[in-house]
Amino acid sequence: AQTVTQSQPEMSVQEAETVTLSCTYDTSESNYYLFWYKQPPSRQMILVIRQEAYKQQNATENRFSVNFQKAAKSFSLKISDSQLGDTAMYFCAFMKQQTSYDKVIFGPGTSLSVIP
Amino acid sequence: IAGITQAPTSQILAAGRRMTLRCTQDMRHNAMYWYRQDLGLGLRLIHYSNTAGTTGKGEVPDGYSVSRANTDDFPLTLASAVPSQTSVYFCASSVVQGVINEQFFGPGTRLTVL
């Protein structure tokens, strides 16, 4: 069974600085997707970035980028130039496509606080 | 509406009562999901439906039931609520046949069972 681990329950970063959130996963699959979701205090789940396992190039979305290490089963999220609006819970997620539905396994989350 | 709506936003419920959480999407997605979110555990799948008329069990289905009479609606029912069902519940949907099947989430329902 797949598992997703986020070893940092809480983190903080100064505004305008860079922070990296860690995520590791365990799977025997070779084809899968990885996601980072953001959940601000509004509770809405927002997709931040996604990575296809077959792609070697790390995904980037504006100030958000990932370091995908497939052999190490690691998928960290880097936030550059942190902003107050980045304060949120961040969830790493693993998804394997199945014939009937998309099975998504979420990590326990990392609470990020951006300090002015 | 655009996206996924859930009702109610929050609810306090006495143990033993029956409760239905509503979820509606207008994106014509074929698959829908119910998750519960608990501190330190992330989101866990309760039930899913890959198309109207069919449903399946997720990771934590006990005490919950779902139905999928049409494409848009996917209600979650707690037949006899217990305090351990206190949680935040999220409905989500996706297009399973898509290239990257991102799941879109509703705003959540905070349920407290006393």
Interchain contact A40–B (C-beta under 8 A): no
In tens, the pLDDT along A59-107 reads 999 999 999 999 999 999 999 999 999 999 999 999 986 666 778 899 9
| Separation CA B57–CA A100 (nearest Å) | 12
Phi first, then psi, for residue A28 (nearest 5°) are -105, 0
In tens, the pLDDT along A43-64 reads 999 999 999 998 889 999 999 9
Q: Exposed (0-12), middle (13-18) or buried (19+): which is B9, by Cβ within 10 Å?
A: exposed
| Separation CA B48–CA B32 (nearest Å) | 6
| Separation CA A61–CA B103 (nearest Å) | 18
Looking at residue B84, its pLDDT comes to 97
- Cβ of A91 and B108 within 8 Å? no
Mean pLDDT (whole number) for A6-15: 97
| Separation CA A44–CA A13 (nearest Å) | 22
Nearest to A43 among B35, B88, B103 (CB): B88
Looking at residue B68, its pLDDT comes to 97
Q: Exposed (0-12), middle (13-18) or buried (19+): which is A63, by Cβ within 10 Å?
A: middle
Distance from CA of A2 to the nearest CA of B (A): 12
Looking at residue B98, its pLDDT comes to 57
Looking at residue A100, its pLDDT comes to 64
**Best of B44, B95, B100 to mutate (most A CBs within 10 Å, chain A):** B100
**Best of B5, B35, B43 to mutate (most A CBs within 10 Å, chain A):** B43
Q: B28 in the Ramachandran plot: left (φ > 0), alpha (ψ -120 to 50) or beta?
A: left
Ranges of residues in chain B with a pLDDT under 50 are none
Distance from CA of A102 to the nearest CA of B (A): 6
Interchain contact B64–A (C-beta under 8 A): no
| Residue percentage of chain A with pLDDT more than 70 | 97
Phi first, then psi, for residue A38 (nearest 5°) are -110, 135
Distance from CA of A108 to the nearest CA of B (A): 4
